[in-house]
């Protein structure tokens, strides 16, 4: 797999609790925006994030962000 699958043409907006989160970078997970292990054999690996406090997070859904795992609006440039 050369490039990630676009899971969603926009961000996943989630009210998160504090703690460890595991963001899917390949786009194949069935538990988007989180990793479920579907990346096995793709050459992609999840991104581990630790949130110090509860907050709203805009997780990248298109997997093209330059600020992974967070949305930077890159989905607006996709066809």
Q: What is the DSSP string of 35-64?
A: --STTTTTT---EEEEESS-EEEEE-SSS-
Q: What percent of the chain has pLDDT over 70?
A: 100
Alpha-carbon gap, residue 19 to 26, rounded angstroms: 22
pLDDT reported for residue 4: 97
Average pLDDT over residues 51-76: 98
Question: Considering all CA atoms of the chain, what is the largest pairwise distance in Å, rounded to the nearest integer?
Answer: 36
Q: How confident is the model at residue 1 (pLDDT cuts 50, 70, 90)?
A: confident
- Is residue 12 pLDDT above 90, yes or no? yes
pLDDT at residue 32 above 90? Answer: yes
Report the alpha-carbon distance of residue 10 to residue 36 in Å, rounded.
20
Q: 77 in helix, strand or coil?
A: helix
Residue 79 pLDDT: 74
For residues 3-22, average pLDDT: 97
């Amino acid at each position: 797999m050369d490039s990630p699958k676009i899971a969603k043409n926009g961000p996943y907006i989630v009210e998160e609790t504090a703690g460890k989160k595991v963001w899917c970078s390949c786009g194949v997970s069935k538990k988007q925006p989180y990793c479920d292990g579907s990346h096995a054999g793709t050459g992609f690996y999840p991104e581990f994030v630790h949130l110090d406090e509860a907050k709203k997070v805009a997780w990248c859904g298109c997997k093209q962000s330059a600020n992974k795992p967070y949305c930077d609006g890159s989905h607006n440039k996709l066809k």
